[in-house]
Structure 1
Amino acid sequence: MVKQPEESSGFLLWHVTLRWQRAVTTTLKPLGLTHVQFVLLASTWWLNQHDEQPSQAAVSAFAGIDVKMASQVIRTLESKGLITRQIDSADSRARRLLVTKAGAALAPKAVEAVEAVDAALFEPLSGAEAKAFTKSLRRLRAQQTEEQS
Structure 2
Amino acid sequence: METVGALLWRVTNRWRAAVDRALAPVGLTHAQYSLLATLYGMGREGLTPSQRELGERAGFEPMYVSKVARGLEQAGLLERARHPHDPRAFGLALTTRGVEVIGQAIPVVRGLQAELTAPIGGPEGVRARELADTLRVLLGLE
Q: Please give the TM-score of this superposition, normalised by the length of structure 1.
A: 0.85
User: Residues 20 and 117 of structure 1 are in contact (CA less than 8 Å); yes or no, is this contact kept in structure 2?
Assistant: no
Q: Name which of 103, 106, 111 aligns with 2:106.
A: 111
- Residue-by-residue CA offset, 1:11-36 (whole Å, 9 max, x unaligned): 32222222211111101111111111
User: Residues 83 and 91 of structure 2 are in contact (CA less than 8 Å); yes or no, is this contact kept in structure 1?
Assistant: yes
Name the structure 2 match of 1:58: 53
User: Residues 72 and 78 of structure 2 are in contact (CA less than 8 Å); yes or no, is this contact kept in structure 1?
Assistant: yes
Name the structure 2 match of 1:19: 14
User: Residues 79 and 94 of structure 2 are in contact (CA less than 8 Å); yes or no, is this contact kept in structure 1?
Assistant: yes
- Stretches of structure 1 lacking an aligned partner (at least 5 in a row): none
Question: In percent, how many aligned pairs have the same letter?
Answer: 36
Q: Please give the TM-score of this superposition, normalised by the length of structure 2.
A: 0.89
Name the structure 2 match of 1:141: 139
Name the structure 2 match of 1:129: 127
User: Residues 78 and 84 of structure 1 are in contact (CA less than 8 Å); yes or no, is this contact kept in structure 2?
Assistant: yes
Distance 1:96 1:129, change over 3 A: same
User: Residues 49 and 83 of structure 2 are in contact (CA less than 8 Å); yes or no, is this contact kept in structure 1?
Assistant: no
If you compute each CA radius of gyration, which structure gives the higher value, 1 or 2?
Answer: 1
- What root-mean-square deviation, in Å, do the aligned CA atoms of Structure 1 and Structure 2 show? 1.6
- Residue-by-residue CA offset, 1:102-146 (whole Å, 9 max, x unaligned): 11111132122112221111101132212211111121122xx69
Aligned residues: 139
Tell me which of the two structures has the higher relative contact order, counting C-alpha pairs closer than 8 angstroms and 6 or more residues apart: 1
- Stretches of structure 2 lacking an aligned partner (at least 5 in a row): none
Name the structure 2 match of 1:78: 73
Q: One-letter code of the match for 1:112?
A: P
